[in-house]
Amino acid sequence: MPLTIISYNVNGIRAAMGKSLFDWVAGHDADIVCLQETKAQPEQVDFAPIDALGYKHYWHSAEKKGYSGVATFSKREPDKVVVGCGMEKYDREGRILRTDFGDWSLLNCYFPSGTSGEERQAFKYEFLDDFFNWINELKKERPKLIIVGDYNIAHTENDIHSPKTNQQSSGFLPEERAWMTKWFSHGFTDAFRQVHPEKVEYSWWSFRANARANNKGWRIDYQSVTDNLKDKVLDVRHVGEAVHSDHCPVWMQIDL
């Protein structure tokens, strides 16, 4: 039976819940919902609407209040939950949450942004290199992986509304795009591109200049699958009508 996985950077779960996030979740009845940028500790969140939908929930929150964080909601209880990647500088920011189901694993990830300046851009590059190496070690133990979340990189010119004017923008820098090319040529498949090789859809829009209404966006949220799962992907789409955040959800159906 096909499995539905939704990945969504909610830019603050409490704010999104105030915009009826879980009414929207109820309407889509996904098996697993992965949220990024939760900006909350679990004790700050009302679990009642989550519990009412039958989801078990797992959290990796940042040490810093109101910052970063990921949470995974699953209707099926995982066999194993692993919080973080064992590298303190990333784990203190609440960026990676792994759930194992049978012979496959799901990683809910929130990659760093480099938009606030050179220091964070350097941190982002460190994360990309460390994450790549860490994942390739994990893949030896868990060869079937699904890695969803906000990667904070638009890979190709088809993934950004104005490639020419964004050549020097964090999130579309040549080094970041080269990392994505390396990622997708070393055992991972972009699930959206597997189904829609040339389609233009976006997952994030700036709050400035009426960008979302004019669909001047970036595709920076991904569902990556190991190549041994790529033929299992049935459909992927961006749910642009969901407006709880400056991102929209990425919906995937996969037959595992």
- pLDDT tens column, 103-143: 999 999 999 999 999 999 999 999 999 999 999 999 999 99
Q: Is the pLDDT of residue 1 over 90?
A: no
- CA dist., res. 229 & res. 147, Å (int): 12
**Inter-axis angle of helices 118-141 and 174-183, to 10 degrees?**
10
Contact criterion met (CB below 8 Å) for 229 and 5: no
Distance separating alpha carbons of residues 183 and 144, to the nearest angstrom: 15
Residue 8 has pLDDT above 90, yes or no: yes
Q: What percent of the chain has pLDDT over 70?
A: 100
DSSP summary character for residue 229? G
Q: State the Cα–Cα distance between residues 179 and 132, nearest whole angstrom.
A: 9
Other C-beta atoms closer than 10 Å to the C-beta of 10 total 25
* Domain span at 66: 3-254
Question: Residue length, the chain?
Answer: 256
CATH number where 118 lies? 3.60.10.10
Mean pLDDT of the chain: 97
In this prediction the pTM is 0.97
Q: CA angle, 19 as apex, 73 and 2 as ends, to 5°?
A: 35
Distances (CA, A) of 165 to 17, 57, 65, 188, 208: 35, 41, 35, 29, 16
Q: How far apart are CA 112 and CA 73, in angstroms?
A: 22
Residue 150, strand partner residues: 110, 221
Find the distance separating the first CA and the last CA of the chain, reported in whole Å: 8
Instruction: Given the residues 23, 29, 31, 150, select the one marked as catalytic.
Output: 150
Our count of domains for the chain comes to 1
Distance CA 23, CA 38 (A): 17
| C-alpha–C-alpha distance, residues 164 and 167, integer Å | 6
Q: pLDDT tens digit string along 164-219?
A: 999 999 999 999 999 999 999 999 999 999 999 999 999 999 999 899 999 999 99
Compute the half-sphere exposure of residue 240: CA atoms within 13 Å on the CB side of its CA: 15
The pLDDT tens digits of the residues spanning 61-109 come to 999 999 999 999 999 999 999 999 999 999 999 999 999 999 999 999 9
Asked if residue 104 lies in contact with residue 3, where contact means CB atoms within 8 angstroms, the answer is: no
Residue 150 annotated in active site: yes
C-alpha angle 211/217/221, rounded to 5°? 135
Residue 109's alpha-carbon distances to 20, 95, 127, 212, in angstroms, are: 23, 5, 12, 24
